[in-house]
Amino acid sequence: MIAKKSVEKQENSSVKLSITVKGDEAQKEYNELLNKYGKEAQIKGFRKGKVPAAVLERKFGEGIRVEAAGNIMDKSLREAFETVEEKPLGYTHPEVVGEPELRIGEDFSFEVKYDVFPEFELKDWKGLELKETQVSVTKADEDAELKAIQEQNSVVMDKKDGKVTDDSIVTVDYCELDEEKNEVDGKKREDFVFTVGTGYNYYKIDEEIKGMKKDEEKIIEKEYPEDFEMKDLAGRKVAVKVLVKAVKEKILPELDDELAQDVDEKYETLDDLKKALKDQCKDRAREKVDAELKTQAVDKLVEATEIAVPRSMVDVELEQSWRNFVQQSRMQEEQLLGFLEMQGQTKDQLLETWRADAEKSVKGQLIIGKILEDEKVEISDEEFEEELKKQADMYSMPVEDLKKSFGDNNLTEYLKSDMKTRKVYDMLIKEAKIVKGDKVKYADYIKG
């Protein structure tokens, strides 16, 4: 069907394909279509299917020609892609350049543009220089973790002596008074609860309230500085009547074996818990360091490699992250769009800001894919079994069940490819030159 075709490479790994179809082939296609419609057409004055071709052509010629052109393009493209080396990517349809017109009896030629899988040269990925952050887990970090557990297991109870001190949790009624010691309307609060010393109260009476007892009433007079954060209090002298209704305190559990057993039955003594916490800290730090190394490695590779990423690939990636975004926001897509509009943004603008990142991640994926291909990374059955076992452990379900559910959902391949990617990452790090990086404290590292 195709008389002539030529491929022309263009920027961003797209390709222009020109195809010429012989006139009689085009004519045949056109006539076929005309016959098809002739059998169906109903025009006033003619019985169904008895409309002469000439009449049909005059009435609907334009439409039929366009459709015939489309058909011819479809057919010839399919034929062309079988032989042409540059295969199109699956994300988008080839885009037709201009509006090719089908003229009867003439050769029909058209051009399409499409993206191909980007070709790039893989830079040497062995011996990348990666900075490994040195995380030191100290005794203080352990203690902090332990303290957090203590806090979690704390109990709030009424204070025995009923005296307000630091860290007591108090329930108060308070009211601002005017000069004649009358209560000011609308400035009264009842049953207000706060922890002394945190400053989470309107008049900042943390200091003044200390030493008060339960059911005690007191008028606190306080002068506020000019630059006080509450505007209507700044620079004023205010009297506040405070009634302490309840004084409670947080009772932290003793650090002993019992606490350890409360946390989890597998810890018998406090030392067990401490050890587990230490390991936990180390694991967490290790995980983060590993993740950092991975991103570093990929970033370095992306920087070093020149890839002309086709726009359609980035678009697909963007669409993906948009969908993630929608899911994370837990809103309907329309709601989210409306929300964005309120902020004076459109989806396209938002996506545009993501574009650079998306491009980078596409590049990263391409590079990983290439390494995967080059190194012929394979997952053996034993490795797969092992992974399954690990996952089964994680979800605490029998291996057989897990295997079945993977098989049912056709996830086996997915899992395998995931494992392959992980293997590539491992290889990257293994072959890299690890340089000792900055030393950081565990607490700062995990938070930051």
Partner 1 sequence: MKADQIIIEPILTEKSNIMREEECKKYVFKVDKRANKIQVMRAVKELFSVKPVSCNIVNVSGKRKAILPVSASTYRRGYGRTASWKKAIVTLASGEKIDKFEGA
Query: Which positions lie near partner 1, rule CB under 8 A?
Result: 44-47, 50, 52, 54-55, 57-59
User: Which parts of 284-432 are beta strand (E)?
Assistant: none
The number of beta carbons lying within 10 Å of the beta carbon of residue 64 is 19
CB 345 within 8 A of CB 283: no
CA distance 270 to 266: 11
Q: Is 429 helix (H, G, I), strand (E, B) or coil?
A: helix
- Judged by beta carbon, residue 57 or residue 272, the one nearer partner 1 is 57
The DSSP bridge partners found for residue 9 are 15
Q: Judged by CB, which is closer to partner 1: 55, or 84?
A: 55
Q: Which helix (H) or strand (E) holds 57?
A: helix 53-83
Residue 21 CA, chain-centre distance (Å), reads 47
Q: Which lies closer to partner 1 via its Cβ, residue 54 or residue 434?
A: 54
Please state the closest distance from residue 63 (CB atom) to partner 1, in A: 16
**CB 45 → partner 1: shortest distance, Å?**
4
**Closer residue to partner 1 in complex, CB, 57/142:** 57
In the block, residue with structure tokens 């609907």 = 60
Identity of the amino acid at 120: F
Residues 31 and 24: beta-carbon distance below 8 Å: no
CB of 211 within 8 A of CB of 164?
yes
Closer Cβ to partner 1, 49 or 407, answer by number:
49
Shortest gap between Cβ of 21 and partner 1 (angstroms)? 25
What are the structure tokens assigned to 294, written together? 């991975």
Report the residue number, 55 or 276, with the smaller CB distance to partner 1.
55
Of residues 46 and 339, the one with the C-beta less far from partner 1: 46
Tell me the closest approach of the beta carbon of residue 47 to partner 1, in angstroms. 7
Phi, psi of 4 (to 5 degrees): -155, 140
Residue 50 or 126 with smaller CB distance to partner 1: 50
**Nearest distance from C-beta of residue 87 to partner 1, angstroms:** 43
Shortest distance (Å) from residue 68 CB to partner 1: 17
Instruction: Enumerate residues 6+ apart whose C-beta is below 8 A from 39.
Output: 49
The neighbouring-strand residues paired with 173 are 243
Distance CA 445, CA 448 (A): 5
Min dist. Cβ of residue 339 to partner 1 (A): 57
Query: What is the chain's length?
Result: 448
Q: Which tokens go with 447?
A: 């938070």
In the complex, the smallest distance separating the C-beta of residue 52 from partner 1, rounded to whole angstroms, is: 6
User: Three-state DSSP class for 299?
Assistant: helix
